[in-house]
């Protein structure tokens, strides 16, 4: 048997939608992107959505639109994909990592205040594996110290905690439609916000800082455009929007399916004493983006190889990013700086989890895990 780490859910609807997009006059940002923005806002409940080329772009532009740059500090987590920190680095600001909670892997809100200095401008939490951080606490710290909050919501499209939805208690939330995310167009992203001015500025920055986008320039009689500020090229295209649009209606269905499969994994693996699982907090909707196990660091890499030899796709989300060469060289936070993040980073393996995963495939993955710890 072969079990892929991830399979997307694109089908005939998405194929028809792309085919249609290719006969539109504008392949770049236009009607379909605007429709995506409207429908995505309806789904998330955040009034403004800006379609972009990635979540990294969304975080970068959110920071820029909040005037964060050289000399500023942004508090974030080392237990994430490198992009979270790189988005801060792109602006010239300094990422300041705060260690994570041992049992969830999310930024430890209790430790945020001691990291705040007079240079701190924002907090950039990541909702790891799909579990919302304690946004009420993070928001109250931000209010007290007059800081912005930007969410890396790449795992957390569906997430709610204590009635607080993703993107509700922050200045902006950043989503990814990268290949392995719960809805995808290969590469893509979006920023949502409750702040119209912020949305307008991000909309301008996504197309170089021009005063109007292509469809507006070509659809009316010629008007000179101006370069309002020096921006970036991060605009979502109609083709990307065509792929992602039909999936919006299926987000909750996909999540519920992953939740079922997640529980099958938990039931099947709960009797292996060598395996630990991240804690799911109560009173929340978990995005169930990844199914993660934590094992003894002494055997993690051997277990990765065991899965690989058994034709099972697995990955590591994530090694603590302070230890990645370029970031270690630049920010000099060596081993021992973030004990919980490093411990998780040394222990973690993500197993396959997606709606099209079959029960027999989960059984096979679990049997290989049992086999490993028996031998």
Contact residues: ligand PLP, CB under 6 A? 54-56, 80-81, 83-84, 126, 152, 154-155, 176, 178, 189
Shortest distance in whole angstroms from residue 46 CB to ligand PLP: 18
> What SS3 class is residue 315?
strand
Structure tokens at 38: 């409207």
Q: Which is nearer to ligand PLP, 154 or 244 (CB)?
A: 154
Output the smallest distance, CB 283 to ligand PLP, in A.
Answer: 23
> Which one, 120 or 317, has the nearer CB to ligand PLP?
317
Strand segments, DSSP code E, in the chain are: 48-52, 73-76, 94-97, 120-124, 148-152, 160-161, 164-165, 172-176, 189-193, 284-285, 291-294, 348-351
How far apart CA 133 and CA 153 sit, in angstroms, is 10
Contact yes or no for 71/119 (Cβ under 8 A): yes
Q: Which residues pair with 345 in a beta bridge?
A: none
Q: How far is the CB of 176 from ligand PLP (least distance, A)?
A: 3
Closest to ligand PLP by CB, 189 or 287 = 189
User: Going by DSSP bridges, is the β-strand pair 348-351/291-294 parallel, antiparallel, or unpaired?
Assistant: antiparallel
Q: Which residue has the tokens 């799911």?
A: 280
Residues 2, 15, 19, 181: which is the catalytic one?
181
Q: 176 or 193, CB closer to ligand PLP? A: 176
CA distance 59 to 5: 26
d(CA 281, CA 117): 30
Residue closer to ligand PLP (CB basis): 158 or 372: 158
Omega within 30 of 0 (cis) for the link into 120: no
CB burial readout 110-130, b (16+ within 10 A) else e: eebeeebeeebbbbbbbbbbb
- Counting every residue written for the chain, the total comes to 375
CB atoms near residue 222 (< 10 Å): 7
Q: Report in angstroms how near the CB of residue 76 gets to ligand PLP at its nearest.
A: 10
Residue 181 known to be catalytic: yes
- In whole angstroms, give the CA distance from residue 144 to residue 127: 22
Q: Which is nearer to ligand PLP, 29 or 176 (CB)?
A: 176
Q: For residues 46 and 80, which CB has a smaller minimum distance to ligand PLP in the complex?
A: 80
Tokens describing residue 242? 């065509």
- Cα 219 from Cα 216, distance rounded (Å): 5
Residues with catalytic roles:
181
């Amino acid at each position: 048997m072969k079990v892929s780490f991830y399979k997307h859910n694109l089908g005939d609807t998405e194929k028809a939608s792309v085919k249609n997009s290719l006969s539109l006059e504008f392949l770049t940002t236009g009607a379909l992107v605007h429709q995506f923005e409207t429908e995505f806002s309806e789904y998330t409940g955040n009034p403004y959505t800006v379609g972009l080329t990635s979540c990294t772009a969304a975080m970068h532009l959110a920071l820029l639109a909040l005037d964060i740059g050289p000399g500023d500090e942004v508090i974030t987590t080392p237990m994430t994909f490198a992009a979270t920190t790189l988005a801060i680095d792109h602006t010239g600001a300094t990422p300041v990592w705060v260690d994570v909670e041992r049992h969830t892997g999310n930024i430890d809100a209790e430790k945020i205040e001691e990291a705040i200095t007079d240079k701190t401008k924002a907090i950039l939490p990541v909702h790891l594996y799909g579990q919302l951080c304690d946004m009420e606490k993070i928001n109250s710290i931000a209010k007290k110290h007059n800081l912005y909050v930007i969410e890396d919501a790449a795992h957390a499209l569906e997430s709610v905690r204590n009635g607080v939805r993703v993107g509700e208690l922050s200045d902006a939330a950043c989503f990814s439609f990268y290949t392995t995310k719960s809805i995808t167009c290969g590469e893509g992203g979006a920023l949502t916000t409750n702040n119209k001015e912020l949305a307008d500025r991000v909309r301008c920055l996504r197309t170089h800082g021009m005063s109007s986008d292509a469809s507006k320039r070509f659809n009316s009689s010629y008007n000179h455009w101006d370069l309002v500020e020096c921006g970036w090229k991060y605009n979502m295209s109609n083709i990307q929007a065509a792929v992602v649009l039909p999936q919006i209606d299926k987000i909750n269905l996909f999540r519920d399916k992953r939740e079922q499969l997640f529980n099958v994994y938990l039931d099947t693996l709960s009797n292996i004493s060598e395996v630990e699982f991240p804690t799911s907090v109560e009173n929340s909707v978990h995005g169930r983006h990844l199914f993660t196990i934590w094992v003894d660091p002494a055997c993690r890499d051997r277990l990765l190889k065991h899965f690989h030899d058994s034709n099972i796709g697995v990955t590591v989300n994530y090694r603590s990013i302070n230890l990645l060469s370029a970031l270690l060289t630049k920010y000099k936070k060596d081993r021992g700086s973030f004990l919980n993040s490093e411990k998780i980073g040394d222990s973690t393996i993500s197993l396959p989890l997606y709606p099209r995963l079959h029960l027999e495939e989960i059984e096979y993955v679990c049997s290989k895990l049992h086999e490993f710890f028996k031998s």
